[in-house]
Structure 1
Amino acid sequence: MMKTKHLVLLLVCMATIFTACMKNNNDYPGDQGNFDAAAQFTKDTVAIRAYVKAKNIPALKDEKTGLFYQIITPGTGSVNYSGSTSLTVNYTGSLLDGTVFDSSKGTAVTFKSLGSLIRGWQVGIPLIQPGGRIRLIMPSGLGYGNATGYPFPPNSNLDFTIDVLSAQ
C-alpha cells in the first residue's frame, strides 16, 4: 500500500515538472513552433506579384529562391562574389506599403562580408557588378522571417534598392 502511494506521488510530481517545463508558444513572439514556412512563402509570393503588377515593376523572379529582382544598371567588372566578399553600398529598404525602414541616406556603407547579410542580399547582389544598381523585392523568408524586434512586423516582404559602389 505504501509503495503504491509513493509511486502515485512520484508520477504526479513528474507530470507537474514536465508540464511546468513546456512552453506556451503564445508566450514567445516569433517562436517557430507553429510557423508554416511554406504557407508564408505562398502568401508572400502572391503579395509580391500583386505589388510588382500594381507598380508596373519589370521584375524577374529567381525560381529557386523566390526573390524578385530588377537589374537597373548591371555595373562593370568581373567580381566573383563569395560569402567573404566585402561590399560598399548605398541602399534604401522599404516595406511594400512604401514605409522606409532603413537607408544609408546617400552615405556609403561597407559590409565586411556578403555572407553576413540577409539571404535576399546574398542571392541578389551577385547579379550585378560594382557600379550597378539592383532592386530586390523579397519574400519574408529571405529577409528577417517571422522574427520580432525589427522596425516592421514579422513576415514582412522587403523592397531594397541597392547601389554597389565596390566589391572585393
Structure 2
Amino acid sequence: MRMRHYFGLLSLLAVTFFAACNKNDKPAQPFDPAKQAETDEQLIREYIAKNNITGTVKDATSALHYKVLAPGIGGDTMKLNDRMNVSYKGTLLNGTVFDEGDKTRLSEARLDQLIEGWKIGLRKITKEGKIQLFVPSALGYKNSATGKIPANSVLIFEVTLHNYYY
C-alpha cells in the first residue's frame, strides 16, 4: 500500500513537472527602453488629444510633457536640494488615482528625492505655481510596479507648489 502511494505521488510530480515545461511557452521579452519611450509618447499624445488639453509643452531635454496652469510668483525656481510644500494628485491614464496629498505631505522631502518627472517639472514654476505633468514611465517608476502603479505606467500629476525652502 505504501509503495503504491509513493509511486502515485512520484507520477503526479512527474506530470506536473513536464506540464510546466511546455515547449510552446515563449521566454519573456527583454525590456526595451526605446520601444517603451515610443509607446509612452504615443499614449501621452493620445491622452492630451482625447481630453482636449491645450497649451501643453514638451520639455526640450526630456520626454516630459507639461502644462503650466499658474506660473507662480517671484522669479526663482526650486533647486534640487530644496524642500517643498505641495498639494498634488497623481493618476494613471485610465483615471485611477494612485496618490494625493495636501501641502504638508511632502514638507520634508527634497526635490532630488522624487521621481525625475517632478525634478524637471517643478522647476518650470515658482512659489504658488501650479502645473500639470504628463510623466512617461522612464521619468517615473520605469519598468517596476510600485503600490497601485503598474510597471511602465505613464503618470499624470497636478501639482501646486505652495512654497519651497532650503
Give the TM-score band, short-chain normalised. Answer: 0.7 to 0.9
Equivalent residue pairs, number: 137
Does the Cα contact within 8 Å between 2:68 and 2:132 map onto a contact in 1? Answer: yes
The code of the aligned residue for 1:142 comes to: L
Provide the rounded CA distance (Å) in 1 between the counterparts of 2:38 and 2:108: 31
Provide the rounded CA distance (Å) in 2 between the counterparts of 1:69 and 1:132: 13
Provide the rounded CA distance (Å) in 2 between the counterparts of 1:68 and 1:54: 15
> Alignment identity in percent?
35
The aligned counterpart of 1:103 is: 100
The aligned counterpart of 1:11 is: none
1:139 matched to 2:136? The reply is yes
4+ residue segments displaced more than 6 Å: none
Q: How far is the alpha carbon of 1:34 from its aligned partner?
A: 2.0
Q: What do residues 5-44 of structure 1 show as CA deviations (whole Å, max 9, x unaligned)?
A: xxxxxxxxxxxxxxxxxxxx86xxxxxx921111100000
The aligned counterpart of 1:91 is: 88
Provide the rounded CA distance (Å) in 2 between the counterparts of 1:99 and 1:111: 26
Provide the rounded CA distance (Å) in 1 between the counterparts of 2:32 and 2:98: 26
Provide the rounded CA distance (Å) in 2 between the counterparts of 1:125 and 1:89: 10
Q: Secondary structure at the match of 1:153?
A: coil
Select 2:60's aligned residue among 60, 63, 66: 63
The aligned counterpart of 1:54 is: 50
1:120 matched to 2:120? The reply is no
The aligned counterpart of 2:35 is: 39
Does the Cα contact within 8 Å between 1:84 and 1:112 map onto a contact in 2? Answer: no
Does the Cα contact within 8 Å between 1:95 and 1:157 map onto a contact in 2? Answer: yes
Q: Which segment is superposed worse, 57-66 or 106-115?
A: 106-115
Provide the rounded CA distance (Å) in 1 between the counterparts of 2:123 and 2:45: 23
Q: Secondary structure at the match of 2:86?
A: strand
Does the Cα contact within 8 Å between 2:77 and 2:125 map onto a contact in 1? Answer: no
Unaligned runs of 5+ in 1: 1-24, 27-32
1:159 matched to 2:156? The reply is yes
Unaligned runs of 5+ in 2: 1-26
Relative to the length of structure 1, the TM-score reads 0.76
Q: Which segment is superposed worse, 144-153 or 34-43?
A: 144-153
Rate the CA distance shift 1:41–1:136 in 2: closer, same or farther, 3 A.
Answer: same
Q: What do residues 108-148 of structure 1 show as CA deviations (whole Å, max 9, x unaligned)?
A: 32143110000000000010001110000110111101112
Q: What do residues 52-97 of structure 1 show as CA deviations (whole Å, max 9, x unaligned)?
A: 0111112111132110100000000133422201111000000011
Provide the rounded CA distance (Å) in 2 between the counterparts of 1:146 and 1:111: 27
Q: How far is the alpha carbon of 1:107 from its aligned partner?
A: 4.7
